[in-house]
Copies of this chain bind each other. A is one copy, B any other.
Amino acid sequence: MTDHVSGFGSAATLEPFSRATSVRAVQEGLLTAELSGEWTIVGRPNGGYLLALLGRAAAELLGTGQVMAASAHFLRSPQPGPVEIEGEVLRRGRLISQVRVRMVQDGRSCVEALMSLGELDPAAEPRWDAGVADVPYVSFEDSVRLAPVTPDGSRVALFEQVDVRLDPDSMGGIIAARPSGLGQLRGWLKLLGDEDFDPISLLYAVDAFPPTTFDTDFSGMVSTVELTAYIRAVPAPGPLRVVNSARLIDHHCVDEMCDIWDATGRLVAQATQLAVVPSS
């Protein structure tokens, strides 16, 4: 049931995630990067993509370790093109170290983030696990790939870089204005091209799905205020299983919780975000 939704371009340029998030150290505490035009939604870089780029910058500044916890507050949406990343190592610890990073474009701060980094041991097994969320399971093969267009026809370039699939029962609000009303999107993610997800691209994965508001009666654009991600393990190769749930839409905001399991069923990432919704 793949490629069910029409609209895939035949000439999409694959831009590997590692290249789209590469950073270059310029001087102490300053890096530069180029925001990709391919990892965008209606021309704007995705928030998780920005978080991943900042995560790479934080690891570069520290010189060791991987991001375990990342918290970002979004001030302004940057355009594709050059950005500067200002950063500071706040503390070097035995287990955990902290780094502050800020993405600046045209002299204005766009994203401010704090990161805690440590060593993710690829061989370490979970010691206790509450188990997979009690939600319906639909396989990668039986899920439906989203076309690189919004419901109103604007281009979602990044859906040509990553195969984003939804459980058919959770996508009624996206393709046909028939939300289930549960505020939940379930599905899968797979990078196109030769790369598999790694701890850096997991920071993108937690924000890769359409807004859960599409599965309620509030289908307008949402804008992320805060995004926090915890990276729990190095993911095994293969697609990621994703469950995104909203709990409450109030006057201004919606929350969204994201859990991600790798192809072996291991919980590899968790995230929450608060986003502004169109006012009532």
Contact B116 A114 (CB under 8 A): no
Q: How far is the CA of A90 from the CA of B109 in the complex (A)?
A: 8
Mark A residues whose CB is within 8 Å of B. 68-69, 71-73, 75-76, 90-91, 93, 95-96, 98, 100, 109, 112-116, 118, 121, 124-130, 182-183, 216-218, 225-226, 228, 230, 232-233, 245-253, 255, 257, 259, 267, 270, 272, 274, 276, 280
* A151 smallest CB distance to B (angstroms): 19
Contact B183 A130 (CB under 8 A): yes
Q: What residues of chain B lie closer than 8 Å to A248, measured between beta carbons?
A: 126, 128-130, 232, 267
By Cβ-Cβ distance, the 5 closest A-B pairs, closest first, are A71-B71, A124-B251, A69-B226, A128-B249, A228-B228
Contact B276 A96 (CB under 8 A): yes
A97 and chain B: residue at smallest CB distance: B75
Q: What residues of chain B lie closer than 8 Å to A129, measured between beta carbons?
A: 247-249
A91 and chain B: residue at smallest CB distance: B75
- Contact A112-B124, Cβ < 8 Å, known A69-B274, A129-B248: no
